[in-house]
Amino acid sequence: MGEALLSSGELEQYLHRQIPLAELMGVRVLGVSLAAVTLCAPLEPNINHHETVFGGAATSVALLAGWSLLYLRLQAADIAHRLVIQRHSMEHERPITATFLARAQLSPQAEWPQFAAMLARRAKARIGVSVRLEQSGERVAALLGEFVALAPR
Amino acid sequence: MGEALLSSGELEQYLHRQIPLAELMGVRVLGVSLAAVTLCAPLEPNINHHETVFGGAATSVALLAGWSLLYLRLQAADIAHRLVIQRHSMEHERPITATFLARAQLSPQAEWPQFAAMLARRAKARIGVSVRLEQSGERVAALLGEFVALAPR
């Protein structure tokens, strides 16, 4: 009937072990649930020449948050899969000048039951995530991502 | 009347010095001209759990290429500026399994003379770049980015 959800600590270890850049960027996991995954990262390793967060680093943390949410949900539903980003768009709304967080949720249009059914039936399905980036409670950027899940062959 | 274009080596040093992540990702500058900037990066520091390039790393290299092209053009025209990413979208078309390159050009709609005139007149102007990512000569991803240039106050 499904597995227990990974803890924040387990997800953090997994990300650091699997994606060296996540560790170099100082990505931490602040919270996990079926509804949302929240990551954070400090300014220092991600800084640019304006003393703000490099846009590629902000995007990377947002993509990791979105990926993590889908990974956790698929794990919890005990659905074997391979999860790949297909496209994304990012609005860089304000300069990020300190530690920031990225909170991923399913996109408003996403239909999880249909996604899971399609993955079971066709071994391939797409789903969208919406990630909000915040610094000190204020929104600084937003990412929309579309992932594709593939059942193992 | 404008300055000499930075060399590949000078741009590479500048990127590594200003953006620590660029150095950690192993970003190299392959070629610079007013028409295009080409960067490359190896798989290893940018790897994910599928043994392919993490999407955030591919995006970061693409953004650095786009930023570098505009930076070089503004430098060559001797226009003081601060250059910031405003939005971007990325199509992750194929898994990247080895060293890849990112070649940035102005987007087909970009009008450089209007951009430079607007920057001089209003101290703020937007322009688009188009970045193609390749592995072994084959297209693997594409990014469209919109940057805003701000004249120093």
Give me chain B's average pLDDT, please. 95
Q: Decide which of B60 and B1 is more confident.
A: B60
Looking at the domain assignment, is residue A1 inside a domain? no
B21 φ, ψ to 5°? -60, -35
Please provide the DSSP assignment of A33-46 as one string: -SS-EEEEE-SGGG
B104 Cα distance to chain centroid? 6
pLDDT digits (tens, 9 = 90+) for A24-50: 999 999 999 999 999 999 999 999 988
Distance CA B26, CA B76 (A): 26
Looking at the domain assignment, is residue A105 inside a domain? yes
Question: Minimal Cα distance from A58: which residue of B?
Answer: B56
- Token representation of residue A55: 């846009």
Please provide the DSSP assignment of B21-81 as one string: HHHHTT-EEEEE-SS-EEEEE-SGGGB-TTSSB-HHHHHHHHHHHHHHHHHHHHHHTT---
Question: What residues make up the domain containing A105?
Answer: 8-150
Looking at the domain assignment, is residue B88 inside a domain? yes
Domain count, chain A: 1
- A95 interfacial to chain B (CB closer than 8 Å): yes
What angle (nearest 5°) sits at the alpha carbon of residue A138, between those of residues A16 and A23?
A: 10
**pLDDT of B2 higher than 70:** no
Looking at the domain assignment, is residue A129 inside a domain? yes
pLDDT digits (tens, 9 = 90+) for B117-142: 999 999 999 999 999 999 999 999 99
pLDDT, residue B80, reads 79
Q: Check A95 against B84: CB less than 8 A apart.
A: yes
Distance CA A94, CA B110 (A): 23
A14 with A5: CB under 8 angstroms? no
Looking at the domain assignment, is residue B133 inside a domain? yes
* Overall average pLDDT of the B14-21 stretch: 96
Looking at the domain assignment, is residue A36 inside a domain? yes
Question: Minimal Cα distance from A147: which residue of B?
Answer: B92
**pLDDT of A1 higher than 60:** no
* pLDDT band at B4; cut points 50, 70, 90: confident
- Token representation of residue A66: 């979105």
> Amino acid identity of B5?
L
* Overall average pLDDT of the B47-74 stretch: 96
Scan residues 56-75 of B and list those with Cβ closer than 8 Å to A.
Answer: 56-57, 59-61, 63-64
**pLDDT of B25 higher than 60:** yes
pLDDT, residue B5, reads 87
Q: What CATH number should be reported for the domain holding residue B113?
A: 3.10.129.10
Looking at the domain assignment, is residue B3 inside a domain? no
pLDDT, residue A2, reads 59
Task: Provide the angle, in degrees to the nearest 10, between the axes of the packed helices A55-76 and B55-76.
Answer: 170
Which chain A residues are closer than 8 Å to B91 by Cβ? 86-87
Distance CA B102, CA A95 (A): 24
Looking at the domain assignment, is residue B56 inside a domain? yes
pLDDT digits (tens, 9 = 90+) for A69-118: 999 999 999 887 899 999 999 999 999 999 999 999 999 999 999 999 99
Which chain B residues are closer than 8 Å to A24 by Cβ? 21, 24, 45
The pTM is what? 0.96
Q: Check B64 against A87: CB less than 8 A apart.
A: no
How far from B6 is each of A21, A81, A141, B35, B78, CA to CA, in Å?
29, 46, 32, 13, 12
**pLDDT of A143 higher than 50:** yes
* Overall average pLDDT of the A61-65 stretch: 98
pLDDT, residue B1, reads 44
- B94 interfacial to chain A (CB closer than 8 Å): no
**pLDDT of B45 higher than 70:** yes
Exposed, middle or buried: residue B86 (CB in 10 Å: 0-12, 13-18, 19+)? middle
Q: How far is B123 from chain A (nearest CA, A)?
A: 18
